[in-house]
């Protein structure tokens, strides 16, 4: 469970926040969302942003794709990444690291397959548990998260300890 605190904001941004966003609310948003934005960095420092499908399980975001994609090649050089949801009002922004995952254990592979299929079957995607046996699975591990539903009322920062 991450630690909860207020984000450090410039003077005059949010004078008197009245509430916080709960981590369970953020987890539900991450689990229920179908589209995510992943930001990586080119070797020359330019940002690269790409929409991703994926699943949030056990405090991590799993997504798949070819190691030949631009974002995968960027992550080989620099694993730092940002992940956020689509809304600019009901905001979840996570900072962390992302890397190629090892072949998942059978139980995790079953869970990933089930959640992916439930979310994306209507889009034509239903991976089998052995989908990632030879690679192609990535895992984003959060270090911190910013979230709010009303910026002037409840900006909240979550920090994940190692």
Name all contacts of 106-114 with Cβ < 8 Å and 24+ positions apart: 108/57, 111/57, 112/55, 112/57, 112/62, 112/137
pLDDT band at 8 (very low <50, low <70, confident <90, very high): confident
Residue 81's Cβ-side half-sphere holds a number of Cα atoms within 13 Å equal to 28
What would the two tokens of residue 123 be? Answer: 């889009």
Residue 12 has pLDDT above 90, yes or no: no
Q: Is the pLDDT of residue 14 over 90?
A: no
State the pTM of this model.
0.94
- Segment 135-151 mean pLDDT: 96
Helices and strands (H and E) in the chain: how many: 3, 9
Read off the pLDDT band of 13 (50, 70, 90). confident
**What pLDDT, in 10s, does the model give residues 52-106?**
999 999 999 999 999 999 999 999 999 999 999 999 999 999 999 999 999 999 9
DSSP state of 44: T
Please give the average per-residue pLDDT across 118-122, as a whole number.
98
Q: What angle do CA 146, 147, 152 make, to 5 degrees?
A: 110
Angle at 28 between CA 27 and CA 34, to 5 degrees: 105
- pLDDT for 97 equals 98
Above 90 in pLDDT, residue 18?
Answer: no
What size, in residues, is the chain?
162
Q: How far apart are CA 23 and CA 20, in angstroms?
A: 9
Q: Is the pLDDT of residue 162 over 80?
A: no
Q: Among residues 149, 72, 134, which one has the least CA distance to residue 104? A: 134
CATH number of the 3-159 domain? 2.30.110.10
> Look-up: residue for tokens 């689990």?
31
Mean of the per-residue pLDDT values of the chain: 95
**Lowest mean pLDDT: which of 13-22, 36-45, 50-59, 111-120?**
13-22
Q: What sign results for the dihedral spanned by CA atoms 78, 68, 110, 52?
A: positive
């Amino acid at each position: 469970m991450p630690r909860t605190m207020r984000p450090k904001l410039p003077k005059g941004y949010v004078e008197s926040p009245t509430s916080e966003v709960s981590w369970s609310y953020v987890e539900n948003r991450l689990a229920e969302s179908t589209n995510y934005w992943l930001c990586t960095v080119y070797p020359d420092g330019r940002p690269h942003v790409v929409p991703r499908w994926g699943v949030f399980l056990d405090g991590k975001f799993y997504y798949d794709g070819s190691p030949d994609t631009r974002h995968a090649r960027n992550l080989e050089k620099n694993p730092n990444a940002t992940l956020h949801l689509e809304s600019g009002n009901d905001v979840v922004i996570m900072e962390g690291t992302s890397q190629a995952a090892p072949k998942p254990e059978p139980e995790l592979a079953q869970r990933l397959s089930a959640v992916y299929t439930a979310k994306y079957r209507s889009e034509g995607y239903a991976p089998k548990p052995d989908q990632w046996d030879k690679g192609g699975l990535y895992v984003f591990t959060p270090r911190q998260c910013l979230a709010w539903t009303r910026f002037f009322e409840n900006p909240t920062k979550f920090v994940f300890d190692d």
